[in-house]
Amino acid sequence: MKLIDLYDNNRLKYMWSFEYTDKNFVNYLAAIPQSKFIRLVELSSDEVVLTTIGNFLDYVPDQN
């Protein structure tokens, strides 16, 4: 099971985790409020998956 950790990107404070599935991932991104800056990090490798500005993608290191 692959887990994604969520952090407040301004304060780098841990918020919560979710199991990575395409459905969970898309639903979470669509539900992010405009005022939130979020960092998604893959739990096992500790690599940044992406950062957001509201529900818009900001930084996406692996675009494969």
Contact (CB, 8 A) for 2 and 22: no
- Is residue 56 domain-resident? no
- Is residue 11 domain-resident? yes
The count of domains in the chain is: 1
Give tens-digit pLDDT for 20-60. Answer: 999 999 998 888 888 899 999 999 999 999 999 988 999 99
> Which residue pairs, CB below 8 angstroms and at least 24 apart, start in 41-46?
41/4, 41/5, 41/6, 41/7, 42/2, 42/3, 42/4, 42/5, 43/2, 43/3, 43/4, 43/5, 43/17, 44/2, 44/3
Query: What is this structure's pTM?
Result: 0.84
- Is residue 63 domain-resident? no
Give tens-digit pLDDT for 14-28. Answer: 999 999 999 999 998
What's the average model confidence in pLDDT over 10-16?
94
- Is residue 18 domain-resident? yes
- Is residue 64 domain-resident? no
